[in-house]
Structure 1
Amino acid sequence: MITQMMVQPSSWVESGIKISKVRNLHLFKFTDELQSQLEELSLNKKAGTLTSEQEAELAGILELDRIFTLLNARIIAES
């Protein structure tokens, strides 16, 4: 197991998450603002310019993305 610092994914529950209707299913999505932040942090990581705080933020957003992927897959599979 790898120990990694990250911003708690739950910190975006109030402001970074929306539920969108897609083909009669309600799926978890990032708000436009959180999606933009993810894209910006990812670009900065590729450029090698992330601070340790940004690295922790990116790790938290990516963990939330993995959680949403799993939840949305289950929602789709059960429909």
Structure 2
Amino acid sequence: MSRFFVVVVVALSIEGLVATFRAIHENPAQLPYAASILVGVGVLLASWGLFIHLNRSAEELEPEAMADAKREDLKLK
């Protein structure tokens, strides 16, 4: 999931930067839309950081359950 999320965040960041530069040079009225893309990327990054923090806390609380879940994941591969 993390690899997919990295791809999505990077793609949206690049799209936001391209839209920002295009809006600055061609149509400044489109600048709020470009800014909303970048704000959305910021929210995604913050939520991803919260997810990682909570996941690490869960691993520390119940290491045996997390080890069992990882073994089950290996069976699926």
Q: The TM-score by the shorter chain falls in which range? A: 0.3 to 0.5
User: Which has the larger strand fraction?
Assistant: 1
| TM-score with structure 2 setting the length | 0.48
Structure having greater relative contact order (Cα 8 Å, sep ≥ 6): 1
| TM-score with structure 1 setting the length | 0.47
User: Which has the larger helix fraction?
Assistant: 2
